[in-house]
Amino acid sequence: MKQFLVIGLGNFGYFLATHLYSKGHDVMAIDKKPELVENIKTKVTQAIVADATDATVIESLGVNEMDVAVVSIGSVLSNSILTVLNLQEVGLGHIVAKAINEPHKRVLEKLGVKDICFPEKDNAISIAERLHNPNLIDYLPFIEGYGVIELAVPKSFIGKSISQVKLPSRYDVQIVAIKEFEKVHFLPKADFIFKDNGIMVLLGPERGLKKLKTI
């Protein structure tokens, strides 16, 4: 069990905090809007009305012992930056910050934040990819230039083994897992035979994944 601090209880912060709590973690949720705190107070360990841009508030809460702090303030860039600075001042080591645009991301990087997320952008890209390719089950940005996708097994693969389709050499893509109904084959071996009910979980560079999605 870990201790999480979630600052900013908009949609992203709310669902993040409540899901972490449902997994058995201690979650302190903070927002300066009383109505948002009221809405989450029974769904996390502790919910507090507080302004995280105020350094004295952060100090008084004793959050330096938290394992991870998530700054999900996105509407006002300066508030996000001040909050990150306040958390760094009290010595909180692991900070995850939500970015609303590229300039915001660059500022966070300058502050030394290594774990930055774009929830709206990532979700939009995932939906766009699924609309673009009906065979694509899901898409997740991984690191710059790479992605993780779920793709229905192409008809041309059915009955063939992994070694026969040569995904690494043809597309520079690796198979992480193959789902078949309720069974999941993690890191399947080269002699695994593709079936028509399978879904591949693939990892690789965007250019390779893009080529593979056109099959």
Measure CA 161 to chain center.
32
The pTM of this model reads 0.62
152 vs 44: CA distance, rounded Å:
37
Please say if the pLDDT value at position 143 is more than 70.
Answer: no
153 vs 197: CA distance, rounded Å:
7
Span 6-56, pLDDT tens digits? 999 988 899 999 999 998 999 999 999 999 999 999 999 999 999 999 999
Task: Answer with the residue of higher pLDDT: 189 or 124.
Answer: 189
SS3 77: helix
Q: Which residues are CB-contacts of 101 (< 8 A; sequence separation ≥ 6)?
A: none
- Distance, first Cα to last Cα, the chain: 44
What is the residue extent of each domain of the chain? 3-117, 122-212
Domain 3-117 has CATH 3.30.1120.130: no
Please say if the pLDDT value at position 61 is more than 70.
Answer: yes
Selecting from 3.90.79.10, 3.40.190.10, 3.30.470.10, 3.30.70.1450, what CATH number does the domain 122-212 have? 3.30.70.1450
